[in-house]
Structure 1
Amino acid sequence: MVLLFGPLSAQAGNLLIRVQGNQSDAPLYLGLVSADQPGWEPLLRTQQGAGDQLILKDVPPGRFALQLYQDANGNGRLDLSPRGIPLEPVGFSANPSLLKGKPVPKAAQFEHGDDDTLLDIRLHPPRGKVQKD
């Protein structure tokens, strides 16, 4: 008997990330982590892109968290103030409040199954800088 469908394996769908609040053509960077880990390192996947939609292909099922930032000055990293406050637009899956600072992955978790998962992530502009007289 010939096997027509090939070996059965775990499905891996895509993550489709729609970015809300994108105000420029600056590159977007995203990092994917397991939602069960206490912090944002190590990243399982990273990606750079542009526009209002990004795609991470072939992500196996699981619980994940995603962080996103827009590199407004093009230096390839998220710039932070001396107190650790982002100086560039940032966003997280599940769009948690940022009033208490950067959320832990569990606060930004989402469930990804065998099929594609659509995520809407809102970019938060950096807090206004205090102008010096």
Structure 2
Amino acid sequence: MPQRILQTVTRLCQLCLLVPLLVCQSLRAGDLLIEVDGKQDQANLYLALVPADQQDWQPSLRELQGTETPLLITDLPPGRYAVQVFQDSNGNGQLDLSPRGIPLEPVGFSGNPSLFGGKPKPSESLFEHSDTDSVISVRLIPPRKKKERVAPVAPRAGDR
């Protein structure tokens, strides 16, 4: 009988060690690698990561800065996220916008949506991150160049 009790206790101890190992394995967080295309110069890149169900890009869940690409976020729990990347050309630490809200510095979003309708909401730039490592690509869109206004040319005396 004592041997049977010892076997039962041993099996229970093995099970107690195995269950936390399985639970930890299912809660594993993977890394997120963000490849950035269209970098203009050596200025810092800023990355904002938000949950995809969030209405706005502020405040960011995590923010990274650096000049090296690709950008890496380690131990990101599984979920639905959105990423915004911008290049801080003037070094002030923020994305500069015109009075009309048009970016004055290169900017891009996960999923590479069109910026024709303005800055997308996080739900329009979402991606799914699982418990394994993920790789996404973000294309930076340069700011529009200001069009030079050309003064009208006055007609010359001989022109008609």
TM-score (norm 1): 0.92
Tell me the equivalent position of 2:9.
Answer: none
Query: Following the alignment from structure 2 to structure 1, what is the Cα–Cα distance between the partners of residues 74 and 144?
Result: 33
1:33 aligned to which of 37, 40, 50: 50
8 Å CA contact 1:20, 1:52 repeated in 2: no
1:65-109 per-residue CA deviation (whole Å, 9 max, x = no partner) reads 000000011111111111111100000000001000000111100
Deviation at 1:39, TM superposition (A): 1.3
Which of 30, 35, 44 in structure 2 is aligned with 1:18?
A: 35
- What corresponds to 1:83 in structure 2? 100
| 8 A contact 2:34–2:135 mirrored in 1 | yes
1:62 aligns with 2:82: no
Alignment of structure 1 residues 1-16 onto 2, 5 Å = 1=13, 3=17, 7=21, 8-9=23-24, 10-16=27-33
Structure in which a larger fraction of residues adopt helix: 2
Deviations 1:46-73 (A, max 9, x none): 1101123100111100000000000011
Quote how far apart the aligned CAs of 1:4 are: 7.7
Give the structure with higher Rg (CA): 2
Corresponding position of 2:5: none
Over aligned residue pairs, what C-alpha RMSD do you find? Answer: 1.7
Aligned to 2:119: 102
Q: For structure 1, list consecutive stretches of 5 or more residues without a partner in the other structure.
A: none
Mapped to 1, the partners of 2:149 and 2:20 lie a distance apart of 67
Question: Which amino acid in structure 1 is aligned with residue 65 of structure 2?
Answer: Q
Provide structure 2 residue ranges, at least 5 long, that are not aligned to the other structure: 1-12, 151-160
Aligned match of 2:153: none
Share of identical aligned residues, percent?
Answer: 56
Taking structure 2 as the reference length, the TM-score comes to 0.77
- 2:132 aligned partner: 115
Cα distance in structure 2, aligned partners of 1:96 and 1:53:
20
Q: Report how many residues are paired.
A: 133
CA contact under 8 A between 2:43 and 2:91: conserved in structure 1?
A: yes
Structure 2 residue aligned with 1:125:
142
Higher strand share: 1
